[in-house]
Structure 1
Amino acid sequence: MVHTVTKINSLQIPEFIKKYQNQEKFMAFCKECPNYNTLWSCPPLRIDATQFLQAFNYIYIIGVKVIYDTETIKLANTAEKIKEITTRSLREVKNKLSDKMLSLESEIPDSISLASGGCYLCERCKRRDNLPCKQPEKMRYSLDSFGFDLTAITSELLQIDLKWSKNSLPEYYTLIHALLTKKSLGTRLENIEIY
């Protein structure tokens, strides 16, 4: 049904923020999202995004293209099938990617990851009930919740154009995670196996 391709690039945090962050512009998009103020991973954040990021020196962008085979694209011939295939495939890859990122955090001192989109660890996020996160050791903020331009990031740093579903399943989707570190990892992530 799917296969994946992983691309990784890095920048120093100050350069990354200067080049790709526009909180005012991208928070306006977040406010239109159904996850806004309903998931702990999504805006409005209860942390100072700038202060959080400035505790690190490097950001490693990990993009995973989830590529559909021709048969799967043909099978997605209704809105319901597109949604079902998209949700199932992206959730599976995202879960594996998130597990890998948590594993990297345990191996790399002073690191933390950022995830693709909202957190779905729980059936219903406790934020909806104004309660603390039930799994703070696993929940990670979404990269877009910091006001970053994901389209520019994937295009310029990973040479991937983002695709979206309109009336058919696209050739691929892209999940974008990040790893924040205090020290350079050099080539350590070059041959990382995600999926």
Structure 2
Amino acid sequence: MYQTETVVKKISVHQLFENYWKPDIWCEACKTCPYYGTLWSCPPGVPNAKEYLGEFSSVCLIGVKVIYDEETRKKSIGSEDRYRDLTYNKVRRTILETLLFMEEIEKNSLTVAAGRCEICKNCARKDGRPCIYPEKKRYSFSAFGFDITEIASKELKSPLLWSGNGLPEYDMAIAAYFVK
């Protein structure tokens, strides 16, 4: 069905902001997302990236490619969301669980998730309630205004792929682990 490849690259937080922080473009793009305003990990209401992440000195960028075999790509046509739930989203959850565990070991660290928060099946924000697990909630690169397409191609050497029909050759989950 699929296999994974992981790429990790450590850069300075200064370099991350200098080269990839484009909030005018990416925060505006968030407004077209179906999760905008419906999840606590998504805008509006996301902290200012420089204030939230500025105290850290370095960041490990983590890219996990979810590479689909040809049979899966053919079968997925018209059912991409179902296949991504079984593959890509499973990998994203594993990355988050692993990085949250690392945060427990290294207290001066913080995770930026690969995509939206999925800790709860239904986010409390939809009902106008506060986050149920604020200690586990993590924001994504896009929510902060980082250009994940450039991070993927320039730092992780794996351009993001898109497919109009079925799954692409691979999907890539991009997370980050910030340390002081």
Normalising by the residue count of structure 2, what TM-score does the alignment of the two structures yield? 0.95
Aligned Cα root-mean-square deviation (Å)? 1.2
SS in 1 for 2:59: strand
What is the identity percentage for the equivalent residue pairs of Structure 1 and Structure 2?
Answer: 38
Counterpart CA distance in 2 for 1:67 and 1:21 is: 28
Gap change, CA 1:130 and 1:161, over 3 Å in 2: same
Structure 2 counterpart of 1:89: 87
Amino acid at match of 1:22: K
Of the structure 1 ranges 168-177 and 82-91, higher mean CA displacement relative to structure 2 is found in: 82-91
Amino acid at match of 2:87: S
Counterpart CA distance in 2 for 1:89 and 1:164 is: 16
Amino acid at match of 1:41: S
1:40-51 to structure 2, matched below 5 A, reads 40-51=40-51
Normalising by the residue count of structure 1, what TM-score does the alignment of the two structures yield? 0.88
Aligned length: 180
Could you tell me which runs of 5 or more consecutive residues in structure 2 were left unpaired when the two chains were aligned.
Answer: none
CA shift for structure 1 position 11:
1.3
CA shift for structure 1 position 7:
0.2
SS in 2 for 1:137: coil
2:112–2:177 Cα contact (<8 Å) kept: yes
2:86 matches 1:104: no
1:1-195 to structure 2, matched below 5 A, reads 1-76=1-76, 78-79=77-78, 81-182=79-180
1:45–1:145 Cα contact (<8 Å) kept: no
SS in 2 for 1:66: strand
